[in-house]
Amino acid sequence: MKLHELYSFEHERKERKRVGRGDGSGHGGTSCRGHKGQKSRSGGKVARWFEGGQMPLQRRLPKRGFKNPFSVEYAIVNLGVLAEKFKDKEEISIEDFYASGLVKRNLPVKVLGEGELNRPLKITAHKFSQSAKEKIEKAGGSITSLEG
């Protein structure tokens, strides 16, 4: 037996309640809706968030914080990770960051100075931290910043 083959017995089935068909039916007059008011009207529903005219929760709670619309979120990459990931490369461009999967394609790249760099690299990125600049230049490499 399958779920769609189940059915109720004849004596278990209920008749549909036919309201508004005269007083003799027992469901005439107000059609089982009580008397007057919003819930007796057609389409008369109270919204789930309505609190009976009390100040609603979303207006009782204080507003908090501030989101700067001009802030830029950078994908960060550390020097140590670059030295490991690009062992055979001398020059690392933005496309290399994206192709290697280190960075999501829609974010600008910032290189940070965590980790060691012991060979000269020519790195192109949107931004560099001060410590990253110092370590790259100390190792004999150079940087190209894509932002002003």
Segment 99-115 mean pLDDT: 89
Mean pLDDT of all residues in 71-100: 89
Phi, psi of 127 (to 5 degrees): -150, 155
3-class SS of residue 132 = helix
* Rounded alpha-carbon distances, angstroms, from residue 110 to 30, 74, 76, 77, 131: 71, 6, 5, 6, 12
pLDDT at 117: 87
Q: Are 83 and 89 in contact (CB under 8 A)?
A: no
Q: What predicted TM-score, i.e. pTM, was given to this entire model?
A: 0.57
Other Cβ atoms within 10 Å of 78 Cβ, number? 16
Query: Is 127 strand, coil or helix?
Result: strand
pLDDT of residue 12: 84
Quick one: pLDDT band at residue 105, thresholds 50, 70, 90? confident
pLDDT at 148 over 70: no
Q: What are the chain's domains? A: 75-145 (3.100.10.10)
Mean pLDDT of 26-35: 91
